[in-house]
Amino acid sequence: MQRIILFDGVCNFCSSSVQFIIKRDPVHKFQFASLQSDVGQQLLTKYQVSQDMDSMVLIEKDRVYTKSTAALRIAKELKGAYQLLSIFLIIPKPIRDIFYNILANNRYRWFGKKNQCMLPKPEDRQRFLDT
């Protein structure tokens, strides 16, 4: 099954999150594209997601998940105890997204921002749709 994660490629926290996922996804369940890339923009258009989306986006089985739902569904697929985080999916999305939005709205201030999108390591390059 194809699972694609769209992420903010200039956000230090988001890029670190992608590296975190890669390390805990040894069977390559996920592929990646930055929101700023042509591929990312095409996927946003295809799935009718706002072009100014600043959330992590998960595309899975032709369904789109954003914000806390995307993060928790990703955690559910990682190896290790991170799968246990998916228990928080029982909390209503509006409540979960309050916490997600606090992090998302402050991510540049707290973690910084790059001038350009991250470049994947050579051994991970095949997992990125926009390289």
Q: What is the pLDDT of residues 92-130, one digit of tens each?
A: 999 999 999 999 889 988 988 877 666 677 777 888 887
Per-residue pLDDT tens digits for 41-80: 999 999 988 877 778 999 999 999 999 999 999 999 999 8
Is 14 within the bounds of a domain? yes
Number of domains in the chain: 1
β 3-7/30-34 pair status: parallel
Is 49 within the bounds of a domain? yes
Per-residue pLDDT tens digits for 27-38: 999 999 998 889
Is 56 within the bounds of a domain? yes
Is 131 within the bounds of a domain? no
Phi, psi (deg, nearest 5) at residue 3? -125, 125
Residue 126's alpha-carbon distances to 40, 55, 92, in angstroms, are: 16, 23, 36
Is 113 within the bounds of a domain? yes
Q: How confident is the model at residue 88 (pLDDT cuts 50, 70, 90)?
A: very high
Flag whether pLDDT at 25 surpasses 90. Answer: yes
Give the residue numbers spanning the domain of 37. Answer: 3-126
Helix (H, G, I), strand (E, B) or coil at 9: coil
